[in-house]
A and B are shown apart, each in its own frame.
Chain A
Amino acid sequence: MSAPRKQVRLAAHFPGVNNTTVWGDPAAGSHIDLASFAHLARTAERAMFDLFFLAEGLSLREHAGHLHDLDVAGRPDAMTILAALSAVTEHIGLAATLTTTYHEPLEVARQLATLDHLSGGRAAWNLVTSTDAVSGANFRRGAYLPYDGRYDRAGELLTLADRLWAQGPGPFATTGRQVSLAGEWDLATPPQGRPVILQAGDSDAGREFAAAQADAVFTRAGTIPEGRAFFADVKGRLARHGRRPEDLLILPGATFVLGDTDEDALERAAHVRRQQVSGPTAIVFAEQLWNRDLSAYDPDGPLPDVDPVEGEITIAPGSIPARAFAGKRHETVEGLRAMAARDGLSLRDVMVQTRARHSFVGSARTVADLIDEQVQADACDGFILVPHLTPGGLDEFADRVVPLLQERGSLRTEREPGTLRDRLGLPRWTPGQG
């Protein structure tokens, strides 16, 4: 008898506050109402996904000294909306991103344990840290934490939470570099023992933290060789922490556009990509790269003829893409100029080409093949899918791709019993491990 086929793990990411989310389409609905969250979570549940996933942002994005007004902005509080969703879903995991920098340790421990109790063992936490001073200005301590202190606080917070979840009611005290607290804990161990913990961040420190502490890694999608290298590196670190390769799942974020045929999907993707990069958005993207005001340029004209500016980020402080270009602005711009000249592209065309790529484009059959191929090749364990429309952006995937994955035995057709942790095949967590 052959070994059971490796199972594809799927998560649904509620469309985020960035240009991937298309708000101007006639099918785009509310990003705030419970009905939108309930529809996407229930669609993912029906389609046998493991997780429903929410990002977090603790300040509105700013660009050129103003609130950024081109993308979807505003969202409900993640843990609060997940608690509401626990009432209208039965099986799917409920994952919230919470930064350890601007949430209190005991509040994080209590809220995650509460969600786990309310949902019958379905709580998950995407643990992130923050450096962003704009968010810090919304909190009591301001931007209090130096860069190097972020993982100290994250580690100490998680260690304390692990202890409280494991011990149940009773006194506690902890003294650390960032977290020194004492008191009386009053809540029973949550159904999963420990909520499922995801970690996002591809740095060496992030990978090591994941290998020691996390149940899953939320990473970037790439080619099969790139995925295999990341997969081997991160899973290779587990043995040092007394863990098995299957104890940590690798879940890249991925976008998709479906069509009746591959050609139809390409046409649809071209339309979606232009929705994702309007003329004004193309200018903003260019300003992140050039690091200077380009508002006088025409997005439908040629690339700006001025040089980019290295050094302090002035026009888009806090922007991750603006930071990512640092030190390679000139060579990046030269590359884009060559592309524009070769293919006769406008500024907006270039930004559509380089900033609005989709991970999977094709017919349902093609997309099912691409997903399964990555998982079976050990480039990852599954995907966190990011639809571009709220609330119906997953409907077609659920109706057309999921049955094909099920047909070939790569996706469950019935839900296993137990908690989220049980269904993901993750071991019950022993405190002190790692």
Chain B
Amino acid sequence: MPDRPLLLAAALADRRPAPDHAALTARALVAERAGLDLVVLEPGPLDPLLVAARLAAQTAAVGIVPVTSTTTTEPFHVSTALATIDVVARGRAGWVLAVDAPDDVRTTVTWDVPDDVPGDAAEHLEAVRALWDSWEAGAVIRDVATARFLDRDKVHHVDVAGRHLAVRGPSITPRPPQGHPPVLVRVTDDATLDLALRHGDALLTRDEAVARGGGPAATGPLRLLEVDVDPTDLDGLAARLVDEHAAGVHGVVLHAADLEGTLAVLLPALAERDVRPTAAAPPDPDPTGEDPPAAPPRSLRDRLGLPAARNRFEVPA
């Protein structure tokens, strides 16, 4: 039996033209109260980054992880949006990086989408991370004696120059609370698997062999298996997750229509088999946003067992 508990996530989606965002919030709170590690905000008619920001203000413990494509976005905007969500969530943000098929999106943006979308994604992610590093932790000094707000030696141009994109930096948003919010790569083929293995903190896959750590995935990022929940066989699901955990899967992303009903069966079964302990009740969210508790919540990096993020611009003491 692996010694680390099974990570548990819920995918939240509403692809109807007029999504019920209150219901999305309700499901995120179900996940939070059940002690889940994170919720994944799926793409849909509503922009997942904005839905994530709202959920970040409505929750107090669970990781908030929107899915955003690199193919149709500017790394600068994605970097500042994720940093902002991490600020609102006080260190609970993450990112599911997805890659589009170029022919599906070529006519939806005003730049030329390259055929090499995995290469574009790698450069995009590099730019996002470089921008997160562009402000060192102590960059804001507010030194009244010298009239300086900023220590400009601690804010850096990033000068990312790839084959597909270039970003000068620095970011307009200071370094997020986690330094680097965790980057989870959604694996859909060999190219995205390669991207995940090289650059991801975690991967999401529907391929059990990959999720168990077969082949090149044996060492490298955390492996989370995406599972569609069959509500008529929750006992079977529990048994399967116990087996997958034993086989080396680090975590599971549940795609469930009835999240509450699913967790009511699943969580006791996983606790009983020592796959995942019962979670303590989380604190209530701050309804005003003005008065957060003094102590920040447990960071998503910590929940995932990731080490503190290093800053490429910081000289080791």
Contact = CB atoms under 8 A, between A and B. Distances in A.
Contacts of A115: 50
Interface string B78-116: 001101110110000000000000000001111100000
Interface string A28-67: 1000111101110010000000000000011110000011
Given A35-B289, A183-B108, A188-B17, A69 B168 contact: no
B147 interface: yes
A69 B135 CA distance: 13
Nearest to A138: B76
A98 to B, nearest CB: 10
A65 to B, nearest CB: 11
Interface in A97-114: 102-107, 110-111, 114
A287 B139 CA distance: 25
Given A75-B173, A84-B53, A88-B57, A102 B74 contact: yes
Nearest to B47: A114
B109 A83 contact: no
7 contacts: A32-B87, A34-B57, A58-B76, A84-B289, A181-B110, A188-B17, A280-B146
A339 interface: no
Interface string A179-190: 111110011100
Given A38-B288, A102-B74, A69 B148 contact: yes
A355 B143 CA distance: 22
Contacts of B47: 107, 110-111, 114
Interface in B39-54: 44-47, 49-51, 53-54
Contact of A79 (B50, B151, B289): B50
Given A74-B173, A188-B18, 5 more contacts: A77-B83, A104-B109, A106-B108, A183-B108, A280-B147
Nearest to A79: B50
Interface in A127-177: 134, 137-142, 168-169
Interface residues of B, number: 62
A42 B57 CA distance: 14
B87 A33 contact: yes
A295 interface: no
Interface in B165-216: 165-174
Contacts of A137: 166-168
Contacts of B30: none
Nearest to B140: A74
Contacts of B72: 104, 107
B169 A38 contact: no
A106 B109 contact: yes
Contacts of B110: 104-105, 141, 178-181
B316 interface: no
B291 interface: yes
Given A69-B150, A70-B147, A83 B107 contact: no
Contact of A34 (B18, B46, B77, B87): B87
Contacts of B287: 88
B73 interface: yes
Contacts, number: 194
Contacts of B291: 35
Interface of B: 15, 17-19, 21, 44-47, 49-51, 53-54, 56-58, 72-74, 76-77, 80-81, 83-85, 87-88, 107-111, 135, 140, 142, 144, 146-152, 155, 165-174, 287-292
A69 B149 contact: yes
Contact of B51 (A69, A114, A186, A280): A114
B121 to A, nearest CB: 13
Residue of B80, B109, B289 contacting most chain A CB atoms (<10 Å) = B289
B290 A69 contact: no
A225 interface: no
Contacts of A111: 47, 50
A83 B51 contact: yes
B174 A74 contact: yes
A57 B76 CA distance: 12
Q: Nearest 7 A-B pairs (CB), nearest first?
A: A38-B289, A88-B289, A278-B147, A83-B50, A187-B45, A137-B168, A188-B18
A81 B88 contact: yes
